[in-house]
Amino acid sequence: MKKIDFRVALPNLITIIGLCLGLNSLKLAYESNFEKALIFIVLASILDALDGRIARLIKGTSKFGAELDSLTDFVNFGVCPSIILYLWILNNFGFYGWIVSLIFIVSSCLRLARFNIDTENKKNWEINFFTGVPVPAGAGLVLLPMIISFSNFNDIINLNQFAILLLVIFVSYLMISRIPTYAFKQIKISKTIFIFLALGFVLFFSFLFQNTFETLTIFGFIYIFSIPISFIHFLRLRKRYEK
């Protein structure tokens, strides 16, 4: 019987746990427990950020793990957020709300399919950029109105239902677009900056634990503002390296 190296199995187990969290968010949404459904999606996104890095750290990467991670991303950040949004508010638009949900799911699938082949064709300086908004970030953007509704910012930022419908369509476009967004895959930093980053992560997770939805709201807007910055940065780098 062929044995599986624990270094390869561990990241895949983390990915499967993340998949279970995402699927449980659907159950909670069907029970109209949208607050907990969001928390489960957030936990799934944290595991999604960890599994690949752990695999590279312990040298446990594999083609199976890469495919499993991609399929899990499709379910957790393509299917689940769309269904949750439909159950929360898009169902008020009837047939059109469901069509918009399908648009987001299909866009997520196309985005992940392109990502799986684009990684082989990028130049060295392009590695730190995604082509289009990645699916986990897209999930965060379409869920941002729901996140805001559970935060103390709800009285300040109050999107109507039609605006949320348009947001889902716009984010779907951003995912399948060619707009470059930051990836930060091969950024080298000094030890001093690493210390500040570590402290930043401690602060982030502390605030995330204490003020979950307020922290997610601020983080979501920071990401939105980073999109035009990454686009300008990409154009400058392309002009520099392709002279």
Q: Percentage of the chain with pLDDT > 90?
A: 53
Residues 16-63: pLDDT tens digits?
999 999 999 999 999 999 999 999 999 999 998 888 777 777 777 778
Task: Give the pLDDT of residue 6.
Answer: 67
Domain assignment present for 49: yes
Domain assignment present for 124: yes
CA–CA separation, 129 vs 226, rounded Å?
A: 12
Task: Give the pLDDT of residue 1.
Answer: 54
Radius of gyration of the chain (CA): 19
CATH code for the domain in which residue 174 is found: 1.20.120.1760
Structure tokens at 164: 């949320």
Q: Is the pLDDT of residue 105 over 80?
A: yes
Most confident of 122-126, 153-157, 231-235: 231-235
Residues 68-90: pLDDT tens digits?
888 999 999 999 999 999 999 99
Domain assignment present for 1: no
Domain assignment present for 28: yes
Among the listed residues 39, 19, 16, the one whose alpha carbon sits nearest the alpha carbon of residue 29: 39
Task: Give the pLDDT of residue 120.
Answer: 56
CA trace torsion 86, 88, 90, 94 (10° rounding):
80
Residues 167-177: pLDDT tens digits?
999 999 999 99
Domains: count for the chain: 1
Which residue segment(s) compose the domain that 44 sits in? Answer: 6-241
Instruction: Fill in the amino acid letter for 49.
Output: A
CA–CA separation, 54 vs 14, rounded Å?
A: 9
Q: Is the pLDDT of residue 159 over 80?
A: no
pTM beyond cutoff 0.75: yes
Q: Is the pLDDT of residue 129 over 80?
A: yes
Minimum mean pLDDT among 77-91, 104-118, 160-174, 189-203: which range?
A: 189-203
Q: Are 23 and 75 in contact (CB under 8 A)?
A: yes
- Which residues, other chains included, contact 15 with Cβ-Cβ below 8 Å and sequence gap of 6+? 47, 48, 51, 65, 68, 69, 72
CA–CA separation, 209 vs 207, rounded Å?
A: 5
